[in-house]
Amino acid sequence: MNYIPVGLTHFLVLSAVLLVLGIFTMLTRRNAIAVLMGIELILNAANINFVAFTRYGAINLGGQAIALFVIVMAACEAAVALAIVLNLFKRQGSINVRQADQLRD
């Protein structure tokens, strides 16, 4: 049984795929919650990069630390964002982000 040794490139490719999926989700989904999920994907793609660079790179545990910070920040961000979504729902009766275009005016 041959194992393909897992290297930095695999992580980076995974991270890039996650990032693109995240961006795609964030830009195309109409549901505000789904958009938030896309953002989570982007953040976690970054986390994977940080962690992978800790294992293979020269930044020691810095990557691990930043990943933790990102997780905490993501939690905060989720809390704030969900509050916004709640208010959005109160305001327009739905959480469709296509309808939330009052910024244009």
Which residues are near other proteins by CB under 8 A?
23, 26-28, 35, 97-98, 100-105
Whole-number Å distance between alpha carbons of 32 and 80 = 13
Dihedral sign from CA coordinates of 53, 59, 60, 62? negative
Closest approach, Cβ 88 to other proteins, in A, equals 11
Identity of the residue, 2 or 102, whose beta carbon is nearer to other proteins in the bound complex: 102
Identity of the residue, 28 or 60, whose beta carbon is nearer to other proteins in the bound complex: 28
Reduce the DSSP state of residue 31 to 3 states and report it.
strand
Closest approach, Cβ 89 to other proteins, in A, equals 15
Closest approach, Cβ 103 to other proteins, in A, equals 4
**Cα 29 to chain center, whole Å?**
14
